[in-house]
């Protein structure tokens, strides 16, 4: 079974040299990836909307910090479970865990909907769609290998996590601004990187339909996380303007 934890070689064939069949296979693969990504985003948005209108959830959220911490821990555990169980369980189980994660992230989105006004959310979403779309196209059409971006972006992501933890105690507005700007840059870069990675993975082929189904789900999860995190950092940036 193919190991999705290791990035594939980025010696992708030139697009103009690829046969028509390979192009159609790639298109079908990304159609499935985006279908699952959009389904997860719909689940997250619906969950967030329902919770943001739930008096019980709002009351519970404001009465204790344990609820928020539990949700964040649960989200991290789900991502770890998806990656840890990838080669041990069926694609159906991976998809179920992915959708469970989308529901869990809806709890985070509910807080965003409660804290920020509609105009901030709309500006952030439109900006996210524009940046994400542009970087996705770049990742798909560029002839340049983006493999070198991987380690750099991962270091940036680790730095973001550490800086965010430090700023929880420091409470620095200037530091929060820098974190948000770097967050936008990191996830914009990851959008291009992940699209090229999936394109090369598809070009290398899959040994069976089960492996392909897992690749679709993991690919959808990665692109979903790129979009959601880009949106959350932009919300924080636009929210500062109030």
* SS3 track for 102-145: HHHHHHHHHHHHHHCCHHHHHHHHHHHHHHHHHHHHHHHHCCCC
Query: What angle do the packed helices 55-63 and 91-115 form, to 10 degrees?
Result: 80
Q: Quick: pLDDT tens for 98-141.
A: 999 999 899 889 989 988 999 999 999 999 999 999 999 999 99
SS3 for 53-102 is CCHHHHHHHHHCCHHHHHHHHHHHHHHHHHHHCCCCCCHHHHHHHHHHHH
Name which of 21, 52, 15 is nearest 200 in CA terms.
15
Global model pTM greater than 0.75: yes
Report the C-alpha gap between 70 and 187 in whole angstroms: 25
Report the C-alpha gap between 84 and 79 in whole angstroms: 9
- Report how far apart, in Å, the C-alpha atoms of 161 and of each of 128, 147, 157, 185 are: 21, 22, 6, 14
Q: Quick: pLDDT tens for 8-62.
A: 444 444 444 445 556 688 899 999 999 999 999 999 999 999 999 988 887 877 7
Handedness of CA 104, 106, 112, 114 (dihedral sign): negative
Q: Quick: pLDDT tens for 205-234.
A: 888 889 999 999 999 999 999 999 999 999
Report the C-alpha gap between 161 and 20 in whole angstroms: 43
Q: Please give the pLDDT value at position 213.
A: 92
> What does the domain layout of the chain look like in residue ranges?
19-239
| Location of structure tokens 């040994």 | 207
Q: Please give the pLDDT value at position 17.
A: 46
Name which of 149, 164, 109 is nearest 7 in CA terms.
149
Evaluate whether 225 touches 122 at the Cβ level (below 8 Å). Answer: no
- Cβ-Cβ contacts under 8 Å for 98 (sequence gap 6 or more): 36, 40, 82, 217, 220, 221
Q: Please give the pLDDT value at position 242.
A: 54
**Three-state DSSP class for 166?**
helix
Report the C-alpha gap between 145 and 28 in whole angstroms: 23
Q: pLDDT: is 232 or 172 the higher one?
A: 232
Cβ atoms within 10 Å, residue 86: 21
């Amino acid at each position: 079974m193919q190991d999705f934890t290791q990035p594939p070689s980025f010696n992708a064939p030139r697009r103009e040299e690829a046969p028509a069949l390979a192009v159609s296979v790639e298109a079908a693969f990304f159609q499935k990836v985006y279908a699952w990504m959009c389904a997860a985003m719909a689940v997250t948005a619906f969950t967030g909307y329902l919770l943001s209108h739930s008096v019980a959830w709002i009351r519970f959220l404001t009465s204790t910090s344990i609820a928020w911490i539990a949700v964040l821990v649960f989200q991290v555990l789900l991502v770890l479970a998806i990656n840890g169980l990838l080669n041990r369980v069926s694609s159906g189980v991976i998809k179920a865990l992915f959708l469970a994660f989308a529901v869990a992230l809806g709890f985070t989105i509910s807080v965003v909907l409660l804290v920020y006004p509609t105009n901030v959310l709309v500006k952030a979403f439109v900006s996210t769609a524009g940046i994400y779309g542009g970087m996705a196209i770049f990742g798909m059409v560029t002839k340049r290998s983006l493999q070198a971006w991987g380690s750099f972006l991962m270091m940036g992501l680790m730095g973001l996590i550490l800086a965010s933890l430090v700023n929880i105690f420091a409470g620095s507005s200037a530091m929060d601004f820098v974190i948000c700007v770097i967050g936008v840059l990191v996830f914009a870069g990851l959008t291009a990187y992940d699209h090229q990675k999936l394109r090369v993975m598809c070009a290398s082929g899959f040994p069976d339909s089960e492996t392909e189904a897992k690749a679709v789900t993991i690919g959808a999860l990665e692109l979903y996380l790129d979009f959601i995190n880009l949106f959350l950092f932009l919300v924080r940036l636009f929210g500062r303007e109030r």
